[in-house]
Structure 1
Protein backbone atom coordinates (compact mmCIF):
# COMPACT_ATOMS: atom_id res chain seq x y z
CA UNK A 1 0.00 0.00 0.00
CA UNK A 2 1.47 3.31 -1.03
CA UNK A 3 1.54 6.03 1.53
CA UNK A 4 0.63 9.57 0.68
CA UNK A 5 4.21 10.65 1.51
CA UNK A 6 5.60 8.28 -1.10
CA UNK A 7 3.05 9.53 -3.60
CA UNK A 8 3.89 13.17 -2.82
CA UNK A 9 7.61 12.40 -3.15
CA UNK A 10 7.07 10.65 -6.50
CA UNK A 11 4.87 13.44 -7.79
CA UNK A 12 7.26 16.05 -6.41
CA UNK A 13 10.19 14.40 -8.13
CA UNK A 14 8.33 14.21 -11.44
CA UNK A 15 7.24 17.85 -11.12
CA UNK A 16 10.86 18.90 -10.49
CA UNK A 17 11.97 16.93 -13.55
CA UNK A 18 9.21 18.59 -15.61
CA UNK A 19 10.29 22.04 -14.43
CA UNK A 20 13.94 21.27 -15.32
CA UNK A 21 12.83 20.27 -18.81
CA UNK A 22 10.73 23.42 -19.15
CA UNK A 23 13.66 25.57 -18.02
CA UNK A 24 15.92 23.90 -20.53
CA UNK A 25 13.37 24.20 -23.33
CA UNK A 26 12.31 27.71 -22.36
CA UNK A 27 8.60 27.00 -21.80
CA UNK A 28 6.75 30.24 -21.01
CA UNK A 29 5.02 30.74 -17.65
CA UNK A 30 1.48 30.72 -19.09
CA UNK A 31 2.01 27.33 -20.79
CA UNK A 32 3.54 25.91 -17.60
CA UNK A 33 0.50 26.97 -15.56
CA UNK A 34 -1.86 25.51 -18.15
CA UNK A 35 -0.04 22.14 -18.11
CA UNK A 36 0.00 22.11 -14.29
CA UNK A 37 -3.71 22.88 -14.18
CA UNK A 38 -4.38 20.08 -16.71
CA UNK A 39 -2.28 17.68 -14.61
CA UNK A 40 -4.21 18.64 -11.50
CA UNK A 41 -7.56 18.10 -13.29
CA UNK A 42 -6.45 14.74 -14.70
CA UNK A 43 -5.21 13.68 -11.27
CA UNK A 44 -8.53 14.69 -9.68
CA UNK A 45 -10.43 12.78 -12.35
CA UNK A 46 -8.38 9.64 -11.70
CA UNK A 47 -9.02 9.98 -7.96
CA UNK A 48 -12.73 10.64 -8.56
CA UNK A 49 -13.04 7.48 -10.67
CA UNK A 50 -11.27 5.44 -8.00
CA UNK A 51 -13.48 6.88 -5.25
CA UNK A 52 -16.61 6.24 -7.33
CA UNK A 53 -15.51 2.64 -7.97
CA UNK A 54 -14.80 2.15 -4.25
CA UNK A 55 -18.23 3.60 -3.37
CA UNK A 56 -19.93 1.30 -5.87
CA UNK A 57 -18.07 -1.68 -4.44
CA UNK A 58 -19.01 -0.67 -0.89
CA UNK A 59 -22.67 -0.25 -1.88
CA UNK A 60 -22.64 -3.68 -3.54
CA UNK A 61 -21.17 -5.26 -0.39
CA UNK A 62 -23.77 -3.49 1.78
CA UNK A 63 -26.49 -4.85 -0.52
CA UNK A 64 -25.06 -8.40 -0.49
CA UNK A 65 -24.80 -8.29 3.31
CA UNK A 66 -28.36 -6.98 3.69
CA UNK A 67 -29.67 -9.67 1.33
CA UNK A 68 -27.75 -12.40 3.17
CA UNK A 69 -29.07 -11.21 6.54
CA UNK A 70 -32.62 -10.99 5.19
CA UNK A 71 -32.42 -14.48 3.67
CA UNK A 72 -30.95 -15.85 6.90
CA UNK A 73 -33.76 -14.29 8.94
CA UNK A 74 -36.40 -15.57 6.49
CA UNK A 75 -34.96 -19.09 6.64
CA UNK A 76 -34.81 -18.92 10.43
CA UNK A 77 -38.47 -17.90 10.59
CA UNK A 78 -39.71 -20.35 7.97
CA UNK A 79 -37.96 -23.22 9.77
CA UNK A 80 -39.46 -22.05 13.05
CA UNK A 81 -36.03 -21.65 14.62
CA UNK A 82 -35.35 -19.12 17.34
CA UNK A 83 -31.62 -19.14 16.79
CA UNK A 84 -28.90 -21.24 15.29
CA UNK A 85 -25.71 -22.30 17.03
CA UNK A 86 -22.89 -20.62 15.18
CA UNK A 87 -25.13 -17.85 13.92
CA UNK A 88 -23.14 -14.67 13.75
CA UNK A 89 -24.76 -12.35 16.21
CA UNK A 90 -23.87 -8.68 16.33
CA UNK A 91 -21.38 -8.62 13.50
CA UNK A 92 -18.29 -6.50 13.63
CA UNK A 93 -15.43 -5.94 11.27
CA UNK A 94 -15.24 -4.93 7.66
CA UNK A 95 -18.09 -5.54 5.24
CA UNK A 96 -16.15 -8.41 3.66
CA UNK A 97 -15.51 -9.94 7.09
CA UNK A 98 -19.19 -9.62 7.99
CA UNK A 99 -20.23 -11.24 4.71
CA UNK A 100 -17.67 -14.01 5.23
CA UNK A 101 -18.99 -14.62 8.74
CA UNK A 102 -22.65 -14.99 7.72
CA UNK A 103 -21.99 -17.11 4.62
CA UNK A 104 -21.36 -20.45 6.42
CA UNK A 105 -24.43 -19.98 8.64
CA UNK A 106 -26.52 -19.10 5.59
CA UNK A 107 -25.24 -22.19 3.77
CA UNK A 108 -26.18 -24.32 6.82
CA UNK A 109 -29.68 -22.80 6.90
CA UNK A 110 -30.17 -23.48 3.18
CA UNK A 111 -29.23 -27.12 3.74
CA UNK A 112 -31.62 -27.35 6.68
CA UNK A 113 -34.39 -25.89 4.54
CA UNK A 114 -33.70 -28.35 1.73
CA UNK A 115 -33.77 -31.28 4.16
CA UNK A 116 -36.98 -30.03 5.75
CA UNK A 117 -38.66 -29.51 2.36
CA UNK A 118 -37.75 -33.12 1.51
CA UNK A 119 -39.23 -34.30 4.82
CA UNK A 120 -42.45 -32.37 4.08
CA UNK A 121 -42.62 -33.79 0.54
CA UNK A 122 -42.20 -37.32 1.83
CA UNK A 123 -44.90 -36.98 4.48
CA UNK A 124 -47.28 -35.09 2.19
CA UNK A 125 -46.70 -37.68 -0.54
CA UNK A 126 -47.56 -40.48 1.87
CA UNK A 127 -50.67 -38.57 2.98
CA UNK A 128 -51.77 -38.15 -0.64
CA UNK A 129 -51.09 -41.82 -1.40
CA UNK A 130 -53.04 -43.13 1.59
CA UNK A 131 -55.84 -40.62 0.98
CA UNK A 132 -56.03 -41.78 -2.62
CA UNK A 133 -56.08 -45.43 -1.53
CA UNK A 134 -58.86 -44.73 0.99
CA UNK A 135 -60.81 -42.87 -1.71
CA UNK A 136 -60.45 -45.91 -3.95
CA UNK A 137 -58.31 -44.26 -6.59
CA UNK A 138 -56.04 -46.39 -8.72
CA UNK A 139 -52.27 -46.19 -8.44
CA UNK A 140 -52.04 -44.33 -11.78
CA UNK A 141 -54.40 -41.68 -10.45
CA UNK A 142 -52.22 -41.39 -7.36
CA UNK A 143 -49.06 -41.11 -9.48
CA UNK A 144 -50.63 -38.08 -11.18
CA UNK A 145 -51.19 -36.51 -7.75
CA UNK A 146 -47.71 -37.28 -6.40
CA UNK A 147 -46.01 -35.04 -8.95
CA UNK A 148 -48.14 -32.11 -7.77
CA UNK A 149 -46.89 -32.04 -4.16
CA UNK A 150 -46.50 -28.39 -3.23
CA UNK A 151 -44.71 -27.54 -0.02
CA UNK A 152 -45.45 -24.23 1.68
CA UNK A 153 -41.87 -23.05 2.15
CA UNK A 154 -42.99 -20.21 4.42
CA UNK A 155 -43.85 -22.65 7.22
CA UNK A 156 -41.35 -25.46 7.49
CA UNK A 157 -41.43 -25.57 11.26
CA UNK A 158 -41.13 -28.80 13.20
CA UNK A 159 -44.57 -28.06 14.63
CA UNK A 160 -46.07 -28.04 11.13
CA UNK A 161 -44.17 -31.21 10.22
CA UNK A 162 -45.54 -32.88 13.34
CA UNK A 163 -49.06 -31.84 12.31
CA UNK A 164 -48.55 -33.56 8.94
CA UNK A 165 -47.07 -36.62 10.65
CA UNK A 166 -50.08 -36.76 12.98
CA UNK A 167 -52.39 -36.56 9.96
CA UNK A 168 -50.38 -39.31 8.27
CA UNK A 169 -50.68 -41.52 11.34
CA UNK A 170 -54.43 -40.86 11.50
CA UNK A 171 -54.79 -41.86 7.84
CA UNK A 172 -52.70 -45.00 8.38
CA UNK A 173 -54.93 -45.96 11.29
CA UNK A 174 -58.04 -45.32 9.20
CA UNK A 175 -56.63 -47.40 6.34
CA UNK A 176 -55.75 -50.25 8.73
CA UNK A 177 -59.23 -50.14 10.28
CA UNK A 178 -60.84 -50.32 6.84
CA UNK A 179 -58.59 -53.21 5.84
CA UNK A 180 -59.46 -55.06 9.03
CA UNK A 181 -63.20 -54.49 8.39
CA UNK A 182 -62.76 -55.62 4.80
CA UNK A 183 -60.90 -58.76 5.88
CA UNK A 184 -63.62 -59.54 8.43
CA UNK A 185 -66.36 -59.50 5.80
Structure 2
Protein backbone atom coordinates (compact mmCIF):
# COMPACT_ATOMS: atom_id res chain seq x y z
CA UNK A 1 0.00 0.00 0.00
CA UNK A 2 1.44 3.36 -1.04
CA UNK A 3 2.34 6.19 1.31
CA UNK A 4 -0.36 8.44 -0.18
CA UNK A 5 -3.04 5.88 0.65
CA UNK A 6 -1.74 5.53 4.21
CA UNK A 7 -1.81 9.31 4.67
CA UNK A 8 -5.36 9.42 3.37
CA UNK A 9 -6.41 6.62 5.72
CA UNK A 10 -5.07 8.46 8.74
CA UNK A 11 -7.34 11.42 7.96
CA UNK A 12 -10.48 9.30 7.59
CA UNK A 13 -12.92 7.73 10.01
CA UNK A 14 -11.90 4.12 10.80
CA UNK A 15 -14.85 2.77 8.81
CA UNK A 16 -14.02 4.94 5.82
CA UNK A 17 -10.38 3.96 6.15
CA UNK A 18 -11.27 0.27 6.04
CA UNK A 19 -13.54 0.83 3.07
CA UNK A 20 -10.72 2.58 1.23
CA UNK A 21 -8.40 -0.30 2.00
CA UNK A 22 -11.02 -2.74 0.75
CA UNK A 23 -11.33 -0.85 -2.54
CA UNK A 24 -7.57 -0.93 -2.98
CA UNK A 25 -7.60 -4.70 -2.51
CA UNK A 26 -10.51 -5.09 -4.92
CA UNK A 27 -8.68 -3.04 -7.52
CA UNK A 28 -5.62 -5.20 -7.12
CA UNK A 29 -7.63 -8.41 -7.27
CA UNK A 30 -9.87 -7.19 -10.06
CA UNK A 31 -13.16 -7.73 -8.22
CA UNK A 32 -16.15 -7.04 -10.51
CA UNK A 33 -18.52 -4.20 -9.68
CA UNK A 34 -21.47 -6.51 -9.06
CA UNK A 35 -19.60 -8.31 -6.29
CA UNK A 36 -18.42 -5.02 -4.86
CA UNK A 37 -21.94 -3.58 -4.80
CA UNK A 38 -23.36 -6.69 -3.18
CA UNK A 39 -20.65 -6.71 -0.52
CA UNK A 40 -21.14 -3.02 0.23
CA UNK A 41 -24.88 -3.54 0.65
CA UNK A 42 -24.22 -6.41 3.04
CA UNK A 43 -21.79 -4.27 5.02
CA UNK A 44 -24.28 -1.43 5.18
CA UNK A 45 -27.01 -3.76 6.43
CA UNK A 46 -24.70 -5.28 9.04
CA UNK A 47 -23.77 -1.81 10.26
CA UNK A 48 -27.44 -0.85 10.47
CA UNK A 49 -28.18 -4.01 12.44
CA UNK A 50 -25.40 -3.24 14.91
CA UNK A 51 -26.60 0.34 15.34
CA UNK A 52 -30.19 -0.83 15.76
CA UNK A 53 -29.20 -3.30 18.48
CA UNK A 54 -27.30 -0.59 20.31
CA UNK A 55 -30.19 1.85 19.99
CA UNK A 56 -32.66 -0.77 21.24
CA UNK A 57 -30.38 -1.56 24.17
CA UNK A 58 -30.07 2.13 25.04
CA UNK A 59 -33.85 2.55 24.79
CA UNK A 60 -34.44 -0.36 27.16
CA UNK A 61 -31.94 1.06 29.62
CA UNK A 62 -33.60 4.48 29.48
CA UNK A 63 -37.06 2.97 29.92
CA UNK A 64 -35.90 0.92 32.92
CA UNK A 65 -34.35 3.98 34.55
CA UNK A 66 -37.48 6.04 33.98
CA UNK A 67 -39.64 3.27 35.42
CA UNK A 68 -37.35 2.87 38.44
CA UNK A 69 -37.46 6.62 39.07
CA UNK A 70 -41.24 6.71 38.74
CA UNK A 71 -41.66 3.75 41.11
CA UNK A 72 -39.23 5.23 43.63
CA UNK A 73 -40.97 8.61 43.53
CA UNK A 74 -44.39 6.97 43.91
CA UNK A 75 -43.24 4.89 46.88
CA UNK A 76 -41.57 7.90 48.45
CA UNK A 77 -44.73 9.98 48.04
CA UNK A 78 -46.84 7.15 49.47
CA UNK A 79 -44.66 6.78 52.56
CA UNK A 80 -44.62 10.54 53.17
CA UNK A 81 -48.41 10.60 52.89
CA UNK A 82 -48.81 7.60 55.20
CA UNK A 83 -46.64 8.92 58.02
CA UNK A 84 -47.88 12.48 57.58
CA UNK A 85 -44.66 14.12 56.43
CA UNK A 86 -44.33 16.66 53.60
CA UNK A 87 -43.46 15.13 50.21
CA UNK A 88 -39.85 15.07 49.06
CA UNK A 89 -39.12 16.39 45.56
CA UNK A 90 -35.56 15.39 44.76
CA UNK A 91 -35.46 16.91 41.29
CA UNK A 92 -36.68 20.27 42.52
CA UNK A 93 -34.32 20.32 45.48
CA UNK A 94 -31.27 19.36 43.43
CA UNK A 95 -30.92 21.19 40.13
CA UNK A 96 -27.40 19.87 39.53
CA UNK A 97 -28.51 16.39 38.53
CA UNK A 98 -27.34 15.27 35.12
CA UNK A 99 -29.00 12.24 33.62
CA UNK A 100 -31.42 9.61 34.80
CA UNK A 101 -28.82 7.56 36.67
CA UNK A 102 -27.84 10.50 38.85
CA UNK A 103 -31.49 11.25 39.47
CA UNK A 104 -32.20 7.69 40.60
CA UNK A 105 -29.09 7.60 42.77
CA UNK A 106 -30.23 10.84 44.41
CA UNK A 107 -33.70 9.45 45.22
CA UNK A 108 -32.58 6.13 46.73
CA UNK A 109 -31.11 7.55 50.00
CA UNK A 110 -34.30 9.51 50.70
CA UNK A 111 -36.40 6.43 49.96
CA UNK A 112 -34.37 4.20 52.27
CA UNK A 113 -34.58 6.77 55.06
CA UNK A 114 -38.36 7.03 54.72
CA UNK A 115 -38.72 3.25 54.62
CA UNK A 116 -36.90 3.06 57.94
CA UNK A 117 -39.16 5.73 59.43
CA UNK A 118 -42.24 3.85 58.24
CA UNK A 119 -41.06 0.58 59.79
CA UNK A 120 -40.36 2.32 63.11
CA UNK A 121 -43.73 4.07 63.07
CA UNK A 122 -45.54 0.83 62.25
CA UNK A 123 -43.82 -0.91 65.16
CA UNK A 124 -45.17 1.78 67.48
CA UNK A 125 -48.67 1.31 66.07
CA UNK A 126 -48.51 -2.46 66.50
CA UNK A 127 -47.43 -2.12 70.14
CA UNK A 128 -50.33 0.22 70.97
CA UNK A 129 -52.87 -1.90 69.07
CA UNK A 130 -51.75 -5.05 70.87
CA UNK A 131 -52.10 -3.29 74.22
CA UNK A 132 -55.59 -2.10 73.27
CA UNK A 133 -56.56 -5.64 72.33
CA UNK A 134 -55.12 -7.07 75.54
CA UNK A 135 -56.81 -4.61 77.90
CA UNK A 136 -60.13 -4.77 76.02
CA UNK A 137 -60.22 -8.53 76.48
CA UNK A 138 -59.45 -8.14 80.19
CA UNK A 139 -62.02 -5.50 81.15
CA UNK A 140 -64.84 -6.60 78.84
CA UNK A 141 -64.32 -10.33 78.24
CA UNK A 142 -67.98 -11.00 77.39
CA UNK A 143 -68.22 -8.16 74.87
CA UNK A 144 -64.72 -8.51 73.48
CA UNK A 145 -64.53 -9.60 69.87
CA UNK A 146 -61.04 -10.86 68.96
CA UNK A 147 -59.47 -8.94 66.13
CA UNK A 148 -56.27 -9.15 64.20
CA UNK A 149 -53.81 -6.30 64.08
CA UNK A 150 -54.74 -4.45 60.86
CA UNK A 151 -52.28 -4.57 58.02
CA UNK A 152 -53.44 -1.29 56.47
CA UNK A 153 -50.48 1.05 56.67
CA UNK A 154 -51.96 3.89 54.63
CA UNK A 155 -52.43 6.12 57.70
CA UNK A 156 -49.51 6.06 60.11
CA UNK A 157 -49.64 9.76 60.88
CA UNK A 158 -48.91 11.19 64.31
CA UNK A 159 -52.55 12.30 64.48
CA UNK A 160 -53.71 8.70 64.09
CA UNK A 161 -51.11 7.51 66.58
CA UNK A 162 -52.32 10.07 69.12
CA UNK A 163 -55.90 8.84 68.66
CA UNK A 164 -54.85 5.26 69.39
CA UNK A 165 -52.74 6.38 72.34
CA UNK A 166 -55.70 8.25 73.84
CA UNK A 167 -57.87 5.17 73.35
CA UNK A 168 -55.28 3.07 75.14
CA UNK A 169 -55.04 5.55 78.01
CA UNK A 170 -58.82 5.54 78.34
CA UNK A 171 -58.87 1.74 78.53
CA UNK A 172 -56.08 1.75 81.09
CA UNK A 173 -58.05 4.15 83.30
CA UNK A 174 -61.17 2.03 82.88
CA UNK A 175 -59.20 -1.05 83.87
CA UNK A 176 -58.00 0.64 87.06
CA UNK A 177 -61.58 1.53 87.98
CA UNK A 178 -63.30 -1.71 86.99
CA UNK A 179 -60.84 -4.41 87.95
CA UNK A 180 -61.07 -4.11 91.79
CA UNK A 181 -64.88 -4.06 91.73
CA UNK A 182 -65.19 -7.11 89.53
CA UNK A 183 -62.30 -9.05 90.91
CA UNK A 184 -63.39 -12.55 92.00
CA UNK A 185 -61.27 -14.80 94.15
CA UNK A 186 -60.06 -17.82 92.31
CA UNK A 187 -60.65 -21.32 93.77
CA UNK A 188 -57.02 -21.51 94.82
CA UNK A 189 -57.57 -18.49 97.06
CA UNK A 190 -61.24 -19.06 97.87
CA UNK A 191 -61.04 -22.58 99.33
CA UNK A 192 -58.37 -21.80 101.97
CA UNK A 193 -60.42 -18.79 103.01
CA UNK A 194 -63.52 -20.96 103.54
CA UNK A 195 -61.48 -23.44 105.55
CA UNK A 196 -60.13 -20.70 107.80
CA UNK A 197 -63.63 -19.33 108.36
CA UNK A 198 -64.92 -22.82 109.21
CA UNK A 199 -62.14 -23.43 111.72
CA UNK A 200 -62.65 -20.01 113.27
CA UNK A 201 -66.40 -20.66 113.62
CA UNK A 202 -65.76 -24.05 115.22
CA UNK A 203 -63.33 -22.48 117.65
CA UNK A 204 -65.89 -19.85 118.66
CA UNK A 205 -68.57 -22.50 119.21
CA UNK A 206 -66.21 -24.61 121.31
CA UNK A 207 -65.22 -21.63 123.43
CA UNK A 208 -68.83 -20.68 124.04
CA UNK A 209 -69.75 -24.25 125.06
CA UNK A 210 -66.92 -24.35 127.59
CA UNK A 211 -68.00 -21.07 129.07
CA UNK A 212 -71.52 -22.29 129.65
**Paired position in structure 2 for 1:118:** 123
Alpha carbons 1:79, 1:157 under 8 Å: kept: yes
Separation in 2, partners of 1:12, 1:83: 54
**Paired position in structure 1 for 2:101:** 96
Separation in 2, partners of 1:169, 1:100: 44
How much does 1:152 deviate?
A: 2.3
Alpha carbons 1:120, 1:151 under 8 Å: kept: no
Against the structure 1 CA distance between its residues 89 and 19, is the aligned structure 2 distance closer, same or farther, given a 3 Å change threshold? closer
How much does 1:165 deviate?
A: 0.4
**Paired position in structure 1 for 2:162:** 162
How much does 1:79 deviate?
A: 0.7
**Paired position in structure 2 for 1:152:** 152
Alpha carbons 1:116, 1:156 under 8 Å: kept: yes
Deviations 1:59-97 (A, max 9, x none): 11101100100110011101111246xx62515421000
Higher-Rg member (1/2): 2
Separation in 2, partners of 1:134, 1:89: 53
**Paired position in structure 1 for 2:25:** 21
Separation in 2, partners of 1:29, 1:175: 102
The SS at the match of 2:13 is helix
* Greater than 2 Å deviation, 4+ residue runs: 179-183
Task: Map residues 34-49 of structure 1 onto 2, 5 A cutoff.
Answer: 34-49=38-53
Alpha carbons 2:83, 2:118 under 8 Å: kept: yes
> Normalised by the size of structure 1, how large is the TM-score?
0.84
> Normalised by the size of structure 2, how large is the TM-score?
0.73
User: What residue ranges of structure 2 are gaps of 5+ in the alignment?
Assistant: 1-9, 184-212
Moved more, 68-77 or 128-137: 128-137
Deviations 1:149-183 (A, max 9, x none): 12420000010001000000000000001134357
Moved more, 113-122 or 21-30: 21-30
How much does 1:30 deviate?
A: 1.6
How much does 1:41 deviate?
A: 1.2
Instruction: Tell me if 1:11 matches 2:12.
Output: no
**Paired position in structure 2 for 1:76:** 80
Alpha carbons 2:81, 2:87 under 8 Å: kept: no
